[in-house]
Structure 1
Amino acid sequence: MAGEKYPVAAVILGAGMSRRMGTAKQLLQLGKRSLLEVTITNVLHSGFSRAIGVIGHEAEQIQAEIQISDQRFQWAINKEYKKGQSTSLFTGLQEALNEGYSSVMIFLGDMPFIKRETMESVLRSGMEIGSQTEKPFMLQPEYNQIPGHPVYLGNVHEGLLQFLAGDEGAKGLKESLHIYKRLRVTDPGCVFDIDTPEVYEKAKGILREKN
């Protein structure tokens, strides 16, 4: 799949204030790279035509420390990040729509262990649904009946952005869509987000085991 170009944009949300972590988790080291850079790199290894990293808190420092040379990647600044995750989703979707993308996959910047097979499975399943309907839809992976990421949004249009509010992410958007489906996966990485110091230590242990 790597190297292919699918007409789908990836949006990576990394604008949060990391209150539970106590420091900007985007820049926490995970191996030789920062947490957000690991996530972005993993996404770019898949076949997206465009990848948009949405940042807000510590945006200047993040841009200075994370240098992505892939021409498919761009930063998008969410100046309203203090109002919640939905503002970052709004920023990313607006940027994707402005570039002509109506299909988007949403990643969280603190989820570095999603397997490539999971990304591919969600991507291909989303594209298959999109080939069968023109209505807006959402496809979400689930692990052990727990909904996870990345989330595929298909047939997105400007009118849907009005349903984004607060810190609920895509919840309000999901309730406005005609179609919502889940895809069972066997990947615990799709529900593993690093949001506390304890989970960060666990993540470093997982990485050591992999290496």
Structure 2
Amino acid sequence: MQPNIAALILAAGASSRMGKPKQLLELDGKYMLERVIRLALSAEFTEVVAVVGCQSERIRQLIRIEDTRFRWEVNLDALMGQSTSLQAGFRALGEAVEGVMVLLGDQPFISEKTVRRVFEEGSSILNEVQGSFVIQPSFQGKIGHPVFFVRPPYADIFYLQGDQGAKGILEKLNGRILVPVADEGIVIDLDTPQDVKQYSFKSEK
């Protein structure tokens, strides 16, 4: 029986440093968030949830996804920090999921190969270990996203506040595996117009 593994995409930010909604930034004919959603859908997740907040109505109007595994979740508290989006996403998925891969909506250059590799590693670990565990890819010694939670520590996740991300949780977990990948995209996020200019060549790949 295939384990219940979901993907959670965090994309509720206000894009203050970009100066416009970066979720709708066009890269090689596709909106940035759409690229990340389709990246997640390339793997065998049982469901994919994208958490949006700022500009949520416009984003949902412009990005159309037909895959029945996909759904939106609106975080009305997005301006209170990233922790609220993480919590909204995990709340939407529910505690029945055995594994959750967290992706960021401003990291459009991660390869499908990387997502599949982390997914497969997580699926394997689910059958081998008990308790909470985390898997992350690394590129030339730098740890990046996506982050795969095996049996997510819900109590710790819902204890987060403000702009606290999952970093503190990752440091507390006893079990952690780093998966080396030849994919710089795991450490590239687009926060500013300068970032877009610097990495625009990657959108053509």
TM-score higher than 0.5 = yes
In structure 1, stretches of 5+ residues that fail to align are none
1:115-126 to structure 2, matched below 5 A, reads 115-126=111-122
Q: Which one of 20, 24, 44 corresponds to residue 47 of structure 1?
A: 44
Partners of 1:106 and 1:150 within 8 A in 2:
yes
Q: CA 1:6/1:66 → structure 2, altered by over 3 Å: closer, same or farther? A: farther
1:49-88 to structure 2, matched below 5 A, reads 49-88=46-85
Matched, 1:144 2:137: no
Partner Cα distance (2:35, 2:175) in 1: 32
Partners of 1:102 and 1:157 within 8 A in 2:
no
Matched, 1:94 2:91: yes
Partner Cα distance (2:114, 2:52) in 1: 24
Partner Cα distance (1:119, 1:206) in 2: 17
1:95-114 to structure 2, matched below 5 A, reads 95-97=92-94, 100-114=96-110
- 2:158 equivalent in structure 1: 162
Aligned identity (percent) is: 37
Partner Cα distance (1:202, 1:6) in 2: 39
- Partner of 2:71, secondary structure, is strand
Partners of 2:3 and 2:98 within 8 A in 1:
no
Q: Which one of 10, 18, 31 corresponds to residue 13 of structure 1?
A: 10
In structure 2, stretches of 5+ residues that fail to align are none
Partner Cα distance (1:47, 1:183) in 2: 19
Q: Name the amino acid aligned to 2:52.
A: I
Post-superposition offset of 1:141: 0.9
TM-score of the pair, normalised by structure 1: 0.90
1:179-198 to structure 2, matched below 5 A, reads 179-198=175-194
- Partner of 2:4, secondary structure, is strand
Matched, 1:133 2:164: no
Partner Cα distance (2:147, 2:190) in 1: 18
Post-superposition offset of 1:114: 0.8
1:164-179 to structure 2, matched below 5 A, reads 164-179=160-175
Partners of 2:118 and 2:136 within 8 A in 1:
yes
- 2:31 equivalent in structure 1: 34
Post-superposition offset of 1:203: 3.3
- Partner of 1:193, secondary structure, is coil
Partner Cα distance (1:20, 1:102) in 2: 35
- Partner of 1:64, secondary structure, is helix
Partner Cα distance (1:206, 1:118) in 2: 16
Q: Name the amino acid aligned to 1:167.
A: D
Q: Name the amino acid aligned to 2:196.
A: Y
Partners of 1:138 and 1:181 within 8 A in 2:
yes
